[in-house]
Amino acid sequence: MNALLAPWNTPFKLPPFDQIKEADFGPAFEAALTEARQNTTTIAERNEAPNFANTIEAMEQAEAALDRVAGVFFNLSGADSTPALEALQRELSPKLAAYQSEIMMNAKLWARVRALTPEGLSAEQARVLELYQKMFRRAGAELEGPAKSRFAEIMQRLATLGTGFTQNLLADERDWSMPLTERDLKGLPDDVISAAKSAAEERGETGHVLTLSRSLITPFLQFSPRRDLRETAFKAWVARGENGGKTDNTALALEMLALRNERAKLLGYENFAAYKLDGEMAKTPEAVRALLMQVWAPAKAAAEADATRLTEMMHTDGINEALKPWDWRYYAAKLQKEMHDLDEAEVKPYFGLDNMIKAAFDVASRLFGLSFTPLDVPLYHADARAWDVKMGDRHIGVFIGDYFARSSKRSGAWCSRFRAQSSMGQEIRPITVNVCNFAKPPKSQPALLTFDDARTLFHEFGHALHSLMSDVTYGFISGTSVARDFVELPSQLYEHWLSVPEVLTKHARHVETGAPMPGSMLKRLKAAENFDMGFATVEFISSAIVDLDFHTGAVPNDLMAAQAASLAALGMPNSITMRHASPHFAHIFSGDGYAAGYYSYMWSEVMDADAFEAFVEAGDPFDGETAARLAKHIYTAGGSKDPEALYSAFRGEMPKVEALLKGRGFGA
């Protein structure tokens, strides 16, 4: 029997990864879609008057098989893709979009959902009903005639384009590499050299190669004294999705922008950003721009001051040219050494991957009483590992960590889930996964992280906790199913505990000797926390502004010309590039998730800076009372209430941008 459709008699009902075959997915999707359609038709055709149980609760269960199959498929497509999975994804994307439009535009189903009122419902049920009705309206349920048909066509085409964008980007990242000779390796730390060797082995090559994995190319740009190689590598990195030929993403992105704009106008919105932000905390494009520009001015000033110093250092080296983007990281590393006596190669041995995983677990234990026990179970890749997560004696979920870069994995870092939490009728606990792209060391050598890598690990684990600790009735609002500009709060807030001195003292231990990080190094690390923050902030805000401009102004005819115009209007420094150039801006073009929403990291940062201040005010980063409020109102609450209500319940009131400016070193 198809392993995806058979009962999963596995520990914690994990997917039976060792039994699933690629050939199972096509038939499993067909069967699951058929079942979902039948279930939904039954709900829509019921003769009895609609109520919450026979309509909303029934819909919550209607797609159980589809959710199960899709949960496995899309996680594998991102983390361990194959040509067969990619081909199936191209086939499935428009089919799934068509199915979704069919459900949302089912007039009888919408009539039942629309007829319901919050009278007599619990607070959580009323919230779910509100969000269901909003979802239907935003998916075109109230459209008629040609507009209704056109909306469905747009959604199918957008699904196809988003899949194509993602797969083109993965192909560009997978296909590019640069062999490194012994001469080319000079100046690189031992762990970077080891990672380059592992990258070659993973590709079936000998020697050392540089790839477009961020965890490999970033340290190369920091430490390679070869300016010519840095230039070649950097240009390849920023050209992803813009190389011409069949993997070029510029035409796909332009078509997506046009279709999104048309979609928004069909629903009565001025532009896609107005449509997208209508359901977010920010509410309007104007509010987003106001926040970004308030931070832009001090960030740009800091970056320009740093650029002057870096240029002087480059001229001292005899390079009498303008500072280029491929120079910045190299001279910034030198400046950090000069200002803070910090050398990344000296620091990394204290940030072993295993120690940082233990640190993230330990913080969760101290804050929320969680424990993590390793599981010996089949997973989808040999590099992945799993833990049974408990709160006291109660099992609350399974956590999977998949940390190393490989050619079958898309770039970046993310949190996803194979199964969402719910407790309607029976308790269903989540299966949550963190996927990262850290450089994999040769066998028998420990994996070392940069401080930024460790921050990424804590960030994604904050998302995982939001999913694992979820304690609501309905899967529709469980875990990370919240407003996009609220979802980054639990993750960015969790990053703060990495910098807590007692956490570093306990877990930042040398991977070979086990010795704790010296006190002097710890002080230098803390002092350098906001080093190069102007650069990082300019990188981010420029990307967020381009995203906002794309989705508020006229649909561009030339993607790169429109990007250049936005950057010119912003006054973008020549020596810094966007963090994500448009042809590889997966956040906004691999799907709608962060489209007109890349700003959300900064919106959430206003809250996370203020939220951690609650522990500072309590005088203890592990204050029990504050942690209990945080768990109740943020980590376990999912989308059960409006995000402003959740945050205000934790903190008393909404914060102002000054907390963010202070946290980034731009304010008093």
The DSSP symbol for 448 reads B
Dihedral over alpha carbons 388, 390, 395, 399 (to 10 degrees): -40
Helix, strand or coil, per DSSP, at residue 420: coil
Q: Residue 206 and residue 270: Cα distance in Å, rounded?
A: 55
- Tell me if 77 sits within 8 A of 85, measured CB to CB: yes
The answer to whether 145 touches 105, Cβ cutoff 8 Å, is no
Distance, in Å, from the CA atom of 176 to the CA atom of 323, rounded to the nearest integer, reads: 26
* Helix/strand/coil for 204: coil
Query: To which H or E segment does residue 12 belong?
Result: none
| Amino acid at residue number 399 | F
Asked whether 485 and 603 are in contact (CB, 8 A), the reply is yes
In one-letter notation, the amino acid at residue 66 is L
Cβ neighbours of residue 192 closer than 8 Å, sequence gap 6 or more: 216, 219, 220, 223, 439
Nearest alpha-carbon partner for 497 in 469, 465, 471, 533: 465
Q: Helices 123-138 & 107-115, crossing angle to 10 degrees?
A: 140
DSSP notation for 278-324 = TTSSS-SHHHHHHHHHHHHHHHHHHHHHHHHHHHHHHHHTT--S---
Compute the distance between CA of residue 213 and CA of residue 381 in angstroms, rounded to an integer. Answer: 19
Nearest to 408 by CA among 164, 180, 75, 96: 75
3-state class (DSSP) for residue 375:
strand
CA gap 380, 184 in Å, rounded: 36
Which residues, other chains included, contact 336 with Cβ-Cβ below 8 Å and sequence gap of 6+? 342, 528, 531, 532
Considering the candidates 57, 63, 460, 605, report the single residue annotated as catalytic. Answer: 460
What is the C-alpha to C-alpha distance for residues 579 and 452, in angstroms, rounded to an integer?
Answer: 15
Alpha-carbon radius of gyration of the chain: 25
Contact indicator for 633, 649 with CB cutoff of 8 Å:
yes
Residues 6+ apart with CB under 8 A from 513: none
**Helix 214-223 and helix 190-202: axis angle, to 10°?**
140
Residue 445 class from Cβ within 10 Å (0-12 exposed, 13-18 middle, 19+ buried)? middle
Catalytic residue status for 344? no
| Structure-token pair, residue 124 | 């959580």
Give the residue from 647, 640, 644 showing the smallest Cα distance to 126. Answer: 640
Which residues face 209 on adjacent strands?
179
C-alpha to C-alpha distances, 43 to 39, 120, 132, 140, nearest whole angstrom: 6, 21, 15, 19
Tokens 């400046």 sit on residue: 335
Instruction: State which amino acid sits at residue 296.
Output: W
Q: How far apart are CA 652 and CA 519, in angstroms?
A: 36
Q: Which string of DSSP letters, residue by residue, matches 244-274? A: SGGG--HHHHHHHHHHHHHHHHHTT-SSHHH
Residue among 421, 389, 445, 472 nearest 125 (CA): 472
Q: How many residues does the chain have?
A: 668
For the annotated catalytic residues, the residue numbers are 460
